[in-house]
Chains A and B, each alone.
Chain A
Amino acid sequence: MSISFPEQGWFKAPSAGERLWIGLAIAWCLVLTLAMPYWHFKGKQNSTGEAYRVTPAEFYQRAQKFIEAYKVGEDRYTAIVQPPPGTDVYLTARMWRWDPVLKLKKDQTYRVHVGSMDLNHGFSLQPVNMNFQVVPGYDHVLTLTPTRAGEYSIVCNEFCGVGHHTMAGKIIVEE
């Protein structure tokens, strides 16, 4: 019994049924182990984890410069920015807004720098449902290629204070 002392000589090899199960389990573990790196390279869906240390103030400067250079309009007190394809794009998160509104071209690749001005935030692109952590002090670089035109919302999915549930931004993808 599991609450009593095992007989002497309890250390013995697994029986046939146990060996079969453990063998199957190990084989499945190996499949899972190989699947993750395989799809990392083959699927090309994952971030490589490119990131740089940056102070919030410095990130803010870079983002402002970016907004001034490519601003094309304004929507609800937020700049709409249309950067040329292939450029570095900046998106700042703060309690409780995303800046600016990005206007991107379909099938073009952008290096999107996401940074926080204050707390941890969650970059959650809807309705595609793609999620990344935004950590203050870090410039998180996501290499993104939009594949479908339309309007997307960015919601915050990391708790960031009592206004957390009002934090939503926008990305527009054009043909």
Chain B
Amino acid sequence: MATTANGLAALEGHVPDEEKPGFKTGNHAGQVRTCETTGLPVCLTAQRFIRLNAVAAVVFLLIGGVAALLLALTRWPTVHLLPADWYYRVLTAHGLNMLILWIIFMEIAILYFAGTTLLNTRLASKGTAWVAFGLMVAGALAINGAVWSGKADVMMTSYVPLQAHWSFYLGIILFAVGALIAVINFLATLYIAKRDKTYAGSVPLVVFGATAAAIIAVVTLLHGAVVMIPTFLWSLGLTEAPDAAWYRLVWWGLGHQSQQVNVCAMVSVWYLLGTLTTGAKPLNQAVCRGAFVLYILFINLASAHHLLVDPGVGAGWKIWNTSYAMYLAVLASMIHGFTVPASIEVAMRKKGHNKGLFGWLFAAPWKNPGFSAFFLSLVIFGFLGGITGVTLGTQQINIIAHNTLRIPGHFHTTVVGGTSLAFMGLAYYVVPLIFQKEYPAKALARLQPFVFAGGITVMAIAMSFAGSYGVPRRHWDINFTGAQFSAGFDSTAHLMMGLVGIGGTIAFVGLLIFLLLTVAAVFFGRSNAGKKMEAW
């Protein structure tokens, strides 16, 4: 804390030093280094597990990415690459590797970072972190083994009574238990930091957001246990099949809520990258934190919008739940959608970029891929993802959208153009700061977020248009060759499917640049240990 010489210190005198917000004595017992760039204390145990989880995340991103390219080239009518059975198999693998494995491994890395470095504490338990990581890797391998060997062509949702090999369900359970243990390790880290008084004051906003994500994750993973354990027992032949409608209800308590964990983690990463790239400060801590609390309280209701045209639940239940209790979780996103860019604007204006209404935005550090990935993620998630999400979650509109390509058109702008892109932006800081390696070919890295965002935007918009012509998702042949009765779609829908293929391919190129640069940096990059990271 800086002392002031102008007499103000006397006014603040009633706050003893040990209670002033900030870092106090850490509890690392020597297992710590000070980051040369940010000056933050990095717990060496946490650093190891941040690295391990980030590497695992990128490996599964690679698998999911190759699957994505194959799918884009199959749904592009002129190319129609894969045979039907492999299309469905690769689609199952794509969903699981991307939505579950890549994103959750990355989120565990974020939790370990936010829990330790920002609170000046050590990780609560090294052994627990190993157990969590081991279970998650074992689960991920079991899932991929079952899917790629053709024993689980059931899509990510695996709606019963469609049955996969038991190792598939076991893999999901192992992965979920591992993730739950990692989340508990994060919560325990918060506890020991408080107990050991490693800091004073309220936790930083990023830690608050990460904690909100962790709380939603616990609720999500419990839903996963409730639905997956009976399904696993059924796949072993020990019990009857669970009720198909019950499965859909509880599965979406897992399936959709895990997306809300992603939203929460992504918004925290937005705040983090906003600070790292422009020095932005949250304008009003109470407003930002209040919005996170709204997520915790209301976002779980959103799972219901998957059942809007289902039998088994009534119209009143559907309307109340899909409105997230009067759109209070949407309100939270609207608030972040204001506070995040506003904090950037204030930071940029303070640096003197005051020309016109948007001069601050043009002057923003667009050459920094950490910034461009973050800001493009904000725009894609907010304008495309958020608006389509609220629209599709309306009872009336859902009738013309359910299970059409409008649904993947929506979520490729939330979890891919939103979350995945934000996490890529994060990687441009994780690698230099935590792996202490510099990215090679920085010019290519500067370009990468634009290529990826452009491709995914074209693909998602084309998907949405094709879906509004009725084109189903998860479908190998929209010409219905060999079907009993003829069916098909407008020629505009075919044009849109071509654009899905082209946009998907461009997005894959963006992904490939990210993967190659990141792998090159981690394994062959110049070390910056003992130095500041090079400015982007």
Residues on A close to B: CB < 8 A? 1-8, 10-15, 17-18, 21-22, 25-26, 28-30, 32-33, 35-37, 39-40, 43, 45-51, 76-78, 97, 101, 118-120, 122, 124, 126-127, 129-140, 153, 155-162, 164-170
Nearest neighbor of A119 in chain B, beta-carbon distance = B162
Q: Are A140 and B319 in contact (CB under 8 A)?
A: no
Cα A7 to Cα B338 in complex, Å, equals 22
Name A165's contact: one of B84, B161, B307, B402 (CB within 8 Å): B84
Q: Are A48 and B315 in contact (CB under 8 A)?
A: yes
In the bound complex, residues from chain A placing their C-beta under 8 Å from that of B399 are 45-46, 130-132
Name B284's contact: one of A12, A47, A166 (CB within 8 Å): A12
**Residue among B88, B313, B343 having the largest count of chain A Cβ atoms under 10 Å:** B88
In the bound complex, residues from chain B placing their C-beta under 8 Å from that of A18 are 283-284, 287, 338-339
In the bound complex, residues from chain B placing their C-beta under 8 Å from that of A32 are 323, 327, 330, 390, 394
In the bound complex, residues from chain A placing their C-beta under 8 Å from that of B390 are 32
Q: Are B155 and A45 in contact (CB under 8 A)?
A: no
Q: Are B327 and A5 in contact (CB under 8 A)?
A: no
Q: Are A135 and B248 in contact (CB under 8 A)?
A: yes
In the bound complex, residues from chain B placing their C-beta under 8 Å from that of A5 are 21-23, 199-204
Cα A2 to Cα B292 in complex, Å, equals 14
Let me know if B412 is at the binding interface, CB within 8 A.
Answer: no
Q: Are A122 and B472 in contact (CB under 8 A)?
A: yes
Q: Are A120 and B272 in contact (CB under 8 A)?
A: no
Name B204's contact: one of A4, A14, A97, A119 (CB within 8 Å): A4
Name A126's contact: one of B275, B334, B489 (CB within 8 Å): B489
Let me know if B159 is at the binding interface, CB within 8 A.
Answer: yes
Residue pairs across A and B with Cβ atoms less than 8 A apart, 27 shown, are A1-B280, A2-B205, A2-B274, A3-B272, A6-B202, A7-B21, A8-B20, A10-B286, A15-B283, A28-B334, A29-B327, A29-B328, A36-B319, A48-B314, A49-B312, A49-B315, A51-B311, A101-B485, A119-B161, A122-B403, A127-B490, A131-B402, A138-B245, A158-B159, A164-B88, A165-B475, A167-B483
Q: Are B319 and A40 in contact (CB under 8 A)?
A: yes
Tell whether A166 pairs with B206 under 8 Å between CB atoms, given A18-B284, A129-B470, A133-B402: no
Besides the known contacts A122-B472, A166-B484, 5 further A-B residue pairs in the complex with CB atoms under 8 A apart: A47-B309, A131-B401, A131-B404, A161-B162, A166-B481
Q: Are A132 and B402 in contact (CB under 8 A)?
A: yes
In the bound complex, residues from chain A placing their C-beta under 8 Å from that of B248 are 120, 133, 135
Tell whether A129 pairs with B162 under 8 Å between CB atoms, given A1-B280, A7-B21, A165-B84: no
Let me know if B127 is at the binding interface, CB within 8 A.
Answer: no
Cα A9 to Cα B328 in complex, Å, equals 26
Q: Are B476 and A165 in contact (CB under 8 A)?
A: yes
Cα A82 to Cα B179 in complex, Å, equals 55
Q: Are B118 and A3 in contact (CB under 8 A)?
A: yes
Let me know if B491 is at the binding interface, CB within 8 A.
Answer: no
Nearest neighbor of A159 in chain B, beta-carbon distance = B474
- Going nearest first, the 4 A-B pairs with the smallest beta carbon separation are A51-B311, A157-B472, A29-B327, A140-B311
Cα A130 to Cα B474 in complex, Å, equals 17
Q: Are B287 and A43 in contact (CB under 8 A)?
A: no
Q: Are A160 and B162 in contact (CB under 8 A)?
A: yes
Nearest neighbor of B83 in chain A, beta-carbon distance = A162
Cα A158 to Cα B248 in complex, Å, equals 13
In the bound complex, residues from chain B placing their C-beta under 8 Å from that of A39 are 395-396
Tell whether A157 pairs with B334 under 8 Å between CB atoms, given A78-B484, A135-B312: no
Cα A126 to Cα B466 in complex, Å, equals 13
Q: Are A130 and B400 in contact (CB under 8 A)?
A: yes
Cα A8 to Cα B338 in complex, Å, equals 24
Name B311's contact: one of A26, A133, A168 (CB within 8 Å): A133
In the bound complex, residues from chain B placing their C-beta under 8 Å from that of A164 are 88, 474-476
Q: In whole Å, how far is A67's beta carbon from the nearest beta carbon of chain B?
A: 16
Cα A29 to Cα B401 in complex, Å, equals 22
Nearest neighbor of A30 in chain B, beta-carbon distance = B326
Tell whether A46 pairs with B484 under 8 Å between CB atoms, given A10-B202, A131-B400, A135-B248: no
Name A166's contact: one of B205, B281, B480 (CB within 8 Å): B480
Cα A6 to Cα B399 in complex, Å, equals 46
In the bound complex, residues from chain A placing their C-beta under 8 Å from that of B282 are 2
Nearest neighbor of B248 in chain A, beta-carbon distance = A135
Q: In whole Å, how far is B241's beta carbon from the nearest beta carbon of chain A?
A: 9
In the bound complex, residues from chain A placing their C-beta under 8 Å from that of B283 are 15, 18
Nearest neighbor of A50 in chain B, beta-carbon distance = B311
Identify which of residues 396-420 in chain B touch chain A, using a CB-to-CB cut-off of 8 Å.
396, 399-404
Let me know if B335 is at the binding interface, CB within 8 A.
Answer: yes
In the bound complex, residues from chain A placing their C-beta under 8 Å from that of B330 are 29, 32
Q: Are B331 and A26 in contact (CB under 8 A)?
A: yes
Q: Are A168 and B403 in contact (CB under 8 A)?
A: no
Q: Are A1 and B281 in contact (CB under 8 A)?
A: yes
Q: In whole Å, how far is A132's beta carbon from the nearest beta carbon of chain B?
A: 5
